[in-house]
Amino acid sequence: MSSLTASPAWQALVEHALDRASTRTTDLFAEDSERAQRLSCEAAGLYLDYSKQRVDAETLELLQTLARQQALEAWRERLFSGAHVNHTEDRAALHMALRARAGDVFVERGDNVVPMVHAERERMARFASDVREGRWIGATGQAITDVVNIGIGGSDLGPRMVCSALAPLIDGPRPHFVSNVDGADLDAVLQQVRPETTLFVIVSKTFSTQETLANAMHARAWLVAALGEGAVAKHFVAVSTHAERVAAFGIEPDHMFHFWDWVGGRYSVWSAVGLSIMLALGADRFGQLCAGARAMDEHFRTAPLGSNMPVLLALLTVWNVDFLGCSSHVMAAYAQRLALLGPWIQQLEMESNGKRVTRSGEVVDYPTTPVLWGTVGTNAQHAYFQMLHQGPAEHEIDFIAAVDGGHPYPDLHQKLLANCFAQSSALMRGKDAAAVREELSAQGLSGDALEQAVPHRVFPGNRPSNTILLPVIDPYHLGALLALYEHRTFVASVIWGINPFDQWGVELGKQLARQILDPASKLPLDPSTQALMARVRMHPGS
């Protein structure tokens, strides 16, 4: 038994979960007419209703006791103070500094990093303004109409998701995104743009990421074939920390935008990684995105645990996964514009907390992050909600919706919200055999036919969910939502005792891929991989 699972706070929750095994959330509502109001929270314009979770006042108190046992408040202060919470890489995790105000202080190795963050954002803003207003022109004298962001992981998902969510507000060059090393991804984008009016933004912290550099080199060749070698400097900029490699590619030093090693890729959308956002939406809207995130930062840093939105979300996940046995976490955004929010949170959570050892190297004997997945409602209702309602496994669900749909079809938005609220209600309430019999009897069914039909129409219910409401999907509230999930991920990592800021698990596959691509590599490969490679070589097109 690990030190965590043997701890008093953990054991108290184990006993509490056994004691509450038969508790139904509908009964908790029946006992407490104020439950919906009490089990809710507001922060940075967002509203969280967690009253459909299988918790009562004692559960929440025990979860907060666990958080205090794991020194959450001290870890929160370490995070904000610039301590090297990423101990395996000896780095701070100061993404909060990226959205700080000019007078804020975030210290890394004795220096306040906020002034250089703002200096870099001002460089971004000047460049974005030049491109958007036609002062930056391509090699043939034409204005830029399209921007292609080439990156992968956090260098792609954040800007891609924000541009998708805020697409109605785009008033600059059209943004495009290439991430997959599958050439079909790059080809599909290049078919939509012209060399003369396209700007490529190459995003790679080290400027050595295999997929990103492979795509960048092909994009460069495409441009050079049309406009010549001299055009590269007018059609490529970089976001990186490695000036030498950027220069070797042909990008001028003045056209490289910086971020720092205390910015993890999946936390980097607020940095120069967000240059594509600024080009598409402008510096003011990028600033609003950061302002919403900063408001959530302040809430997370100052609110008591019992009314702290990121803390509550994380503790509820720990409760559902480690004590109630929920097998996954579903993101159900009832907003088409948030279609890419799920993939962004997938990387944020599973790359951060998908760990099997604690900070001290102890192998865990408890689940850490659940599998996180999902798509937009109402589409999801016609795909996998059958499993959520009647499958034997239980899954935690976050419903996310905007009060204002931001489009000229209010009747459609009413239907969307009705479905969102109905699904969370149905998952909680379920339908027992007695209710099914009564319903079928009223329809004229009886005898054996009725009894045979009953089991297929029973819904267990008691399935836990949260509902998060945004007033509207705009830069400020989107920023708050993203920061909410960043801090939720950190809180869960503290409870589980793991480092959420490294990602060594992605390295082994990269190393093997390089070996497979290198004809001179002498390292042995397993028989299955050798057979697959041999089969590919036999194909005429290989």
Asked if residues 199 and 176 have their Cβ atoms less than 8 Å apart, the reply is no
CA nearest to 403, candidates 160, 42, 157: 42
What is the rounded distance in angstroms from the CA atom of residue 289 to the CA atom of residue 246?
28
| Other residues' Cβ atoms within 10 Å of the Cβ of residue 476 | 22
- Is residue 507 among the annotated active site residues? no
Cα 201 to chain centroid, rounded: 22
For 417-442, give the secondary structure using H, E and C.
HHHHHHHHHHHHHCECHHHHHHHHHH
What is the rounded distance in angstroms from the CA atom of residue 239 to the CA atom of residue 246?
9
What is the rounded distance in angstroms from the CA atom of residue 178 to the CA atom of residue 173?
16
Instruction: Give the largest Cα separation in the chain, rounded.
Output: 84
- In the set 244, 382, 438, 522, the catalytic residue is 382
CA dihedral 209→214→216→217, nearest 10 degrees, is 130
- Between vectors from CA 23 to CA 58 and to CA 332, what angle results, nearest 5°? 90
- Is residue 255 among the annotated active site residues? no
Asked if residues 478 and 41 have their Cβ atoms less than 8 Å apart, the reply is no
Asked if residues 270 and 293 have their Cβ atoms less than 8 Å apart, the reply is yes
- In the set 87, 407, 415, 510, the catalytic residue is 510
What is the residue type of 450? L
Asked if residues 401 and 334 have their Cβ atoms less than 8 Å apart, the reply is yes
- Is residue 431 among the annotated active site residues? no
Asked if residues 59 and 467 have their Cβ atoms less than 8 Å apart, the reply is no
Burial annotation 65-89 (CB, 10 A radius, 16+ → b, else e) = bbbeebebeebbebbbebbbbbeeb
**Paired tokens of 323:** 């004590």
| Other residues' Cβ atoms within 10 Å of the Cβ of residue 36 | 13
- In the set 108, 196, 211, 351, the catalytic residue is 351
Q: Which residues are tagged catalytic? A: 351, 382, 510
